[in-house]
Amino acid sequence: MKKNRPIKKSRWIILAIAFILPLLFAVPRIYKLVFSLHEDYRLQKSLVILRAENEVRRLRIDEYKKGSVLEAKARDDLGMIKKGEKVFLIKTGSGGR
């Protein structure tokens, strides 16, 4: 009976090594995978926000190129419009924007 015990212990040791050794290699890779998935999600979210901001800026640029907003914005920035005052822009047929 005493001879069987060392064999049983060595089996448990071999089984423990067989399970622990792959875990030592798998855990860092799993960590990297989870981290990269989280980073990908964060970057995708940031990309959506940046694209929306770019679209808003494109729309503002188009408005400024048309000229209809440019004068009102300049007057407002320079303080030439009082609060509650309405601004009317008159476009001329020749030389107007």
* In contact, 64 and 47? CB cutoff 8 Å: no
Which element (helix H / strand E) includes 84?
Answer: none
Whether residue 90 is contained in a domain is answered as no
Whether residue 28 is contained in a domain is answered as yes
Whether residue 94 is contained in a domain is answered as no
Give the pLDDT of residue 50.
97
Whether residue 95 is contained in a domain is answered as no
Query: What are the tens digits of pLDDT across the range 11-68?
Result: 888 888 888 888 888 888 999 999 999 999 999 999 999 999 999 999 988 888 877 6
* 30: containing domain: 4-77
When divided into structural domains, the chain yields a total of 1
3-state secondary structure of 75: helix
Amino acid at residue number 62: D
Higher pLDDT, 38 or 87: 38
* In contact, 89 and 70? CB cutoff 8 Å: no
Give the pLDDT of residue 16.
85
Whether residue 12 is contained in a domain is answered as yes
Whether residue 89 is contained in a domain is answered as no
Does the pTM surpass 0.85? The reply is: no
